[in-house]
Amino acid sequence: MQIKASTPSSVLLVCLGNICRSPTAEEIFRQQAAVAGLSIKIDSAGTSDWHIGKAPDPRSQRHAKSQGYNLSKLVARQVSAEDFYNFDLILAMDAQNLADLQAIKDSLPNTDNKLARLALFSEEDPNYSGDDVPDPYQGDNDDFEEVIERIESSVQGWIESWNAM
């Protein structure tokens, strides 16, 4: 399913715990959107409630900081039903998160057809299209670096797809 639409006014980035991939994506997306001159509300959340109120994983913070991204002010939260009404686009870091988000969306009343569109984060990425962003939580330094590389690539893919409209 390809989503081709105008630039959204709001994007929510979602992974499992909201301490590694999605907060990293939030900050990278925020910076790259600003550079591209896009005014988009950007936030992140997790499908689980394991880390609510916690800062991003120290390893994510360290690797992001080395690439010029500051995650230190971000706080983990769980995705809520309200997010489907308050965001235009919700991007899932992997297929399981996408399935979990779809299940939540399917349970919500959609009387005005105004629920957020859902997509895989890599959907518009020419390098990683359709791939999951691997969870680095159980991994090593290389895994955290790979996540940043993939996120930067996918964010550029979305921005380029919106600019091509």
Clarify whether 57 is annotated catalytic: no
Per annotation, catalytic residue among 43, 125, 132, 135: 135
Answer yes or no: are the C-beta atoms of 71 and 54 closer than 8 Å.
no
Per annotation, catalytic residue among 20, 21, 94, 125: 21
Clarify whether 43 is annotated catalytic: no
Helix ranges (H only) for 67-140 are: 83-86, 95-106
Clarify whether 15 is annotated catalytic: yes
117: number of Cβ within 10 Å: 15
> Of the candidates 139, 143, 94, which has an alpha carbon nearest to the alpha carbon of residue 119?
94
Q: How far apart are the first and last CA of the chain?
A: 18
Helix (H, G, I), strand (E, B) or coil at 89: strand
Per annotation, catalytic residue among 15, 43, 77, 94: 15
DSSP state, residue 116: P
- The residues annotated as belonging to the active site are 15, 21, 135
